[in-house]
Amino acid sequence: MLWLVGSVLIIAYALVPVLWIASLSFKGGDDINNQQFLPSALSLENYRIVLSSDLFLTALRNSVGMSLIATLTSVVVATLAAYAVARLDFPGKRLVLGVALMITVFPIISIATPLFNLWRTVGLFDTWPGLIIPYLSFSIPLSVYVLSAFFREIPWEMEQAAQVDGATSWQAFRRVIVPLAAPGVFTAAILTFFMIWNDFVFGITLTSSEAARPVPAALAFFSGASQFSQPTAPIAAASVIVTIPVVVLVLLFQQRIVAGLTNGAVKG
């Protein structure tokens, strides 16, 4: 019974703020001052404001583009690196994994200002590469740490059997090892995508215009229909829109994500 009560409380704690934002996004005009949970009348006014805003649409394009590029690059590089860490014996192997774990928990805000100064000097400030590079610096170590656990669990004999049958090392890796590690690859990709999609610190620090500013940072500059209107409800509508891709990805790949998280935790 206590487990049930605890579960309900945790779910309510997590869902109530989300439901409140969703409800707020459907409040139009003066209804925003309505203290009730549900809007007096459903209105799509805030969504029309957001979807007609160049600021939001440009930021959405930036977020989608940079998230896909950084996620694909991170997963490819991390897959190769994690395979090497799992299969090869070399000095400093444990140190590599330790450093990778250390980087994943390193406070991003501590390097934001140095990067700001460096990027202005080298010409990467307010550009896609100027954001993608820091994203990769944090996402690749995370992916390496996650994927190395999966590669260690794959029997070495399966790769050797493929090579005995005539496959090269690259063919055995691509056709045998990677498919077996698919749950881990999906897990690393989803975690990387979520981390980049939700980034605010780099987005607000390393940009100064709409050229490369992602959605989380752009929402801080959102002003609604006019400079005199309260932007709370339009920001809520924008938050609902940018949450949809996350929800869709989780629903589509939930089985792979769960399999990836549980398989990776079997043994280290």
- The residues spanned by each domain of the chain are 43-264
**Residue 225 pLDDT > 60, yes or no?**
no
What would the mean pLDDT of 182-203 be, rounded to a whole number? Answer: 89
Specify the residue for token string 């994943």.
104
Distances (CA, A) of 84 to 78, 79, 144: 10, 9, 10
% the chain with pLDDT above 70: 92
Query: What pLDDT score was predicted for residue 224?
Result: 56
For the chain, percent of residues with pLDDT exceeding 90:
26
Give the integer Cα–Cα distance in Å for 17 and 20: 5
State pTM to two decimals.
0.84
pLDDT of residue 176: 84
Q: What is the pLDDT of residue 228?
A: 62
81-95 pLDDT per residue, tens? 888 888 877 787 788
Nearest C-alpha neighbor of 220 from the set 205, 72, 97 = 205
Q: Quote the mean pLDDT of the chain.
A: 84
Q: CA 268, CA 264: separation in Å to the nearest integer?
A: 8
Q: What CATH architecture does domain 43-264 belong to? A: Orthogonal Bundle (1.10)
Mean pLDDT value of segment 72-80: 93
Most confident of 19-28, 117-126, 242-251: 117-126
Does 48 score more than 70 pLDDT?
Answer: yes
Q: Which of 8-17, 32-41, 184-193, 207-216 has the highest mean pLDDT?
A: 207-216
CB-based contact 147:141 (threshold 8 Å) = no
Q: Please give the average per-residue pLDDT across 62-73, as a whole number.
A: 94
Instruction: Give the pLDDT score at 67.
Output: 94
pLDDT band of 42, cuts 50, 70, 90:
confident
Closest CA to 144 of 89, 187, 199: 187
Q: How confident is the model at residue 262 (pLDDT cuts 50, 70, 90)?
A: low
pLDDT at 202: 94
> Which alpha helices (H) appear in the chain, and where do they start and end?
2-25, 45-51, 54-87, 93-104, 109-122, 128-153, 156-164, 169-172, 178-180, 182-197, 201-205, 215-218, 232-264
